[in-house]
Amino acid sequence: MDFFMSQESLTSLEWILRAIFGFIFLIIIAKLMGQRSISQLRFLDFVMALLIGNIMAHPLSDEGLGLKGSMLTMGTLVALYLIGVYLSLHSTFIRKILDPSPIPLIDNGEILYQNLKKARVPIDSLLSELRKQETEEVENVALALWETGGEISIFLKPQYQPVTQKDLSLSPKGFDLPMPVIEDRKINQSLLMKVGKDEHWLHDQLKTTYNVTVDDVLLATIDKQEHIKIYLYK
């Protein structure tokens, strides 16, 4: 285990052992960080980007370090990367580790809170993605998936999909974007003040209309007509 310690020089085998240990260690760290940290890169590509960037930086900035070790390390990492890609193509188990399946965040208009926690996606980020795709209501969504690359795919229910040209003769309704008055059990005080309401009114609405309390609510939205819609923890 001498390759763990600082030394004046390392053998070729010790460089290779360091590369293997670093590769496995960073895979574990990246998995612990979650899919949110991977952004648009695939999981295995993310690990390689971290490793190669750091390996190249040190020998190019420190004259005391030779290129032999870095070349051996990078060669080992590329071999491990190719092996990982090959195994992911031929093994379902390995593919699930290196390229996880999409995580459903909304199913038939219902927010899947446990999957939000698993993907580490806060409510406001989910709502932001819905707004980007011009979706006003969570209940309009048939399915929303947190993809491996970090983006959210949204599929609307058939009745809420874009209209065709023959529908343009219909009189459109005024646009009304519901605003989140409760997010993850927390009341948005500034929004309540904006609509001229207070906590007492909100608690009363939850009790009389839905027979729930704020502690039961994952998300509650209010529109210009002061209609409240709630989504409970599932």
The per-residue pLDDT of the chain, averaged, comes to: 78
- Look-up of token digits 């895979």: 27
Comparing 125 with 101, the larger pLDDT belongs to: 125
Which is higher by pLDDT, 161 or 70?
161
Quote the pLDDT of residue 145. Answer: 92
Confidence at residue 160, expressed as pLDDT on a 0 to 100 scale: 83
Residue 75's pLDDT is: 74
- The pLDDT, as a whole number, for residue 60 is 43
pLDDT value at residue 204? 92
pLDDT tens readout for residues 166-197: 666 666 666 678 889 999 999 999 888 888 88
Q: Which stretch, 4-8, 19-23, 89-93, 195-199, has highest mean pLDDT?
A: 195-199
Distance from C-alpha of 215 to C-alpha of 184, rounded to nearest angstrom: 8
Domains 101-162 and 175-234 agree in fold: yes
131 has pLDDT over 80: yes
Q: Is the pLDDT of residue 136 over 60?
A: yes
Under the phi-then-psi rule, with left for phi > 0, alpha for psi from -120 to 50, and beta for the rest, what region is 164?
Answer: beta
Q: 20 or 218, which is more confident?
A: 218
pLDDT band for position 110 (50/70/90)?
A: very high
pLDDT of residue 225: 83
What residue segments make up the domains of the chain, in order of their start?
Answer: 6-98, 101-162, 175-234
Q: Alpha carbon 169 to chain centroid distance?
A: 40
pTM of the model: 0.55
Q: Which two tokens stand for residue 20?
A: 């293997």
Calculate the alpha carbon distances from 46 to 90, 99, 102, 220 in Å.
21, 11, 17, 36
Please give the residue that has the higher pLDDT: either 181 or 81: 181
**Cβ-based neighbour number of residue 30 at 10 Å:** 17
Assigned superfamily of 101-162: bsu07140 like domains (3.30.240.20)
Name which of 6, 4, 45 is nearest 21 in CA terms. 4
pLDDT at 41: 62
Mean pLDDT of 66-85: 72
Tokens 């209209």 label which residue? 163
Amino acid at 37: S
Which CATH architecture is the domain 175-234 placed in? 2-Layer Sandwich (3.30)
State the pLDDT confidence band at 36, using cuts at 50, 70 and 90: very low
Q: Which pLDDT value is given to residue 151?
A: 81
How would you classify the pairing of strands 103-107 and 228-232?
A: unpaired
Q: Which of 201, 225, 204, 221 is nearest to 213 (CA)?
A: 204
Q: Which residue has the higher pLDDT, 181 or 7?
A: 181
Q: Find tokens 């502690």 and name the residue.
A: 215
Residues 65 and 59: beta-carbon distance below 8 Å: yes
